[in-house]
Structure 1
Amino acid sequence: MLYVVTGPPAAGKSTWIEARARPTDIVIDLDRITRALTGPGAPGWNHDPVAVQVAQRARYAALDEACKHLDTVDVYLIHTMPQAKARARYRRLGAEIVTVDPGEATVRERVAAMRSAAMDRVVTRWYSDYRRGGSRPVTPQASRNW
């Protein structure tokens, strides 16, 4: 099964996956890929344009390959704000779309405490354009201690 996990930054998407994925499942997370591709000491949420571009290409390749194995493993893909073209592709693949959203106030607290100021703009965009742009399930859940 392909699970596409959406939600604003710091919502608990990774935590949701950690609570469900088995060691043999595939987890495709742009933050993890970027960390794997950058040098020692790079920030955990690296937004260097070159690093992100390389990581995005790696994510596409990983998803293409992982989808060939959906009969033997579950695949968890974090995609914060998939646009219409990506959502259509995920539907064709039979994905289950999961939205993790503990609420805007909680997300803003977490971003202020743990992320760069640039992430606040992503939170605003997620709540104004993506979340309110259509009805999607919300998965309230406790996340790690921030």
Structure 2
Amino acid sequence: MRKVALIYGPPCSGKTTQARTLARPGDLIIDWDLLAQEAGSPRDHDHEQRFAVAASRERMRLEDYVTHMTNGTAYIIRTLGDPDEREQAAARIGATELIRCDPGGAECIRRAHDLGRRPTTDELIIRWYAQDWGSRALTHRRTGGAAQRTAHPGLA
């Protein structure tokens, strides 16, 4: 049996923790930060360019492997704030399940600060919510939905 779960969400939302919680021995976890560390990065996040490039190449190779996998379980961790990009990625890898990690923007920013992440992480978190929420709002409007003034759900 083949199971491929795409775990997505903003930085510091708990994607890696979710994958580790769900995975059983023998399951494949594709986590860009772990791949960068395997390539030699001494940091958990914010990797130097050479490690980032190596991690991206290995992630592409592993995701290609997963597309041809007939048996087994894989958990693929991605941010993918744009719903269209997320759907394309899920289709490309043949995801059988999408798991959203979303504790809210304020909580992600709090976690980033607690973890000592770079200030640019705050910007990445805000951008993720803008992509996710903004794209859904525009799609709703394009399909004839009424424009509504609402609070941003992730940053409240």
Residue identity in the other structure for 2:18: W
Question: Which residue does the alignment assign to 2:51?
Answer: 51
When residues 95 and 7 of structure 1 are mapped into structure 2, their CA distance, relative to the original with a 3 A threshold, is: same
Question: Which residue does the alignment assign to 2:36?
Answer: 34
| Aligned residue pairs, count | 132
CA–CA distance in structure 1, aligned partners of residues 123 and 96 of structure 2: 28
**Displacement of 1:54:** 1.6
- Structure 1 segments of 4 or more deviating over 3 A? 82-86
Question: Which residue does the alignment assign to 1:109?
Answer: 110
**Displacement of 1:109:** 0.4
Residue identity in the other structure for 1:77: I
User: Do the aligned partners of 2:81 and 2:128 also contact (CA within 8 Å) in 1?
Assistant: no
CA–CA distance in structure 1, aligned partners of residues 76 and 133 of structure 2: 18
Q: Does 1:2 align with 2:4?
A: yes
* Structure 1: segments with no counterpart, 5+ residues: 136-146
User: Do the aligned partners of 1:67 and 1:75 also contact (CA within 8 Å) in 2?
Assistant: no
Bigger drift between 57-66 and 91-100 goes to 91-100
Structure showing greater Rg? 2
CA–CA distance in structure 2, aligned partners of residues 45 and 75 of structure 1: 22
Q: C-alpha deviations, 1:20-73, integer Å up to 9, x for none? A: 11111110000000011025xx2111332222122101100011113322x321
Give the TM-score normalised by the residue count of structure 1: 0.80
User: Do the aligned partners of 2:9 and 2:80 also contact (CA within 8 Å) in 1?
Assistant: yes
Looking at both structures, which has the greater relative contact order when contacts are Cα pairs under 8 Å and sequence separation is at least 6? 1
When residues 107 and 75 of structure 1 are mapped into structure 2, their CA distance, relative to the original with a 3 A threshold, is: same
Q: Does 1:124 align with 2:126?
A: yes
- How many percent identity over aligned positions? 25
User: Do the aligned partners of 1:35 and 1:46 also contact (CA within 8 Å) in 2?
Assistant: no
Question: Which residue does the alignment assign to 2:75?
Answer: 76
